[in-house]
Structure 1
Amino acid sequence: MSDDADTIDTEVPPSGTGCAECDAVGGWWVHLRRCATCGHVGCCDSSPAQHATAHHRATGHRYIQSFEPGEDWFFDYRTEDLLEGPELAAPTSHPADQPTPGPAGRVPADWRRQVH
């Protein structure tokens, strides 16, 4: 990632513990992804709303990191490659007690039929 290291900000914290857009409208997600440029937390492409990819399309921010406990991989939207990256500002995942899919109380009973 050395060619684009300036697009990764290791000091910016995540925008929250859940998908920013889903939280704003009472939605739900399967997994969470964190923008390595600005800290935006959005839902993955398996989630109904796919907000992490929408954020990339709107901003051009190319790198995300998994925001799931125990995962530290990065993804480059431009090359569609999984990568290793630097340690980002804490926290590096949503709370371990937050269910996946989540958040608790907003996941519909038929959620498996709604994933991509």
Structure 2
Amino acid sequence: MTDIDGIDTHIAPSGPGCLDCEADGSWWFHLRRCALCGHIGCCDDSLNGHATAHATSTGHPIVQSFEPGESWFFDYRTDDMFTGPVLAPPHHHPDAQATPGPDDRVPGNWQQILLDHRGR
């Protein structure tokens, strides 16, 4: 555990994609990693917002982007983004994994679906 409450640098991510979307056969836009337990969930711009749901249900307060090229953290307690420590690898989903993903479940009109979802 680091000296930042809500972050454990030794925990590996739960997998390459959103655990909850995998379980229910859905798809995601971008991925977030719980900095305390490694749970991979989809972002709030996805249809299901599983990362925030995980934080709400568990009280785990911090996520890190699980996207290639991004290393920012977000603290749900303060609504602040920040730079934090290096977590256990891997640091992002596989480069070959589509965004959105997984590729075989993303509908052809995914952009319109997300726009409609944001407008609700």
For the residues of structure 2 that align with 1:92 and 1:26, how far apart are their CA atoms?
24
Offset at residue 112 of structure 1 (A): 1.3
SS of equivalent residue, structure 2 residue 4:
helix
Amino acid at match of 1:77: Y
Alignment of 1:1-116 (within 5 A): 5-115=4-114, 116=118
Please, what is the CA RMSD of the aligned residues? 1.2
Paired residues, number: 114
SS of equivalent residue, structure 2 residue 32:
strand
Offset at residue 111 of structure 1 (A): 1.0
Offset at residue 5 of structure 1 (A): 1.2
**Percent identity of equivalent pairs:** 60
TM-score, normalised with respect to structure 2: 0.91
Offset at residue 26 of structure 1 (A): 1.1
In structure 2, stretches of 5+ residues that fail to align are: none
Amino acid at match of 2:34: C
SS of equivalent residue, structure 1 residue 75:
strand
Amino acid at match of 1:40: H
Offset at residue 6 of structure 1 (A): 3.5
Deviations along 1:41-96, one digit per CA (max 9) or x if unpaired, are 00000000100000011011111000001100000111111101000000010000
Amino acid at match of 1:32: L
Offset at residue 114 of structure 1 (A): 2.2
Higher relative contact order structure (alpha carbons within 8 Å, sequence separation ≥ 6): 1
In structure 1, stretches of 5+ residues that fail to align are: none
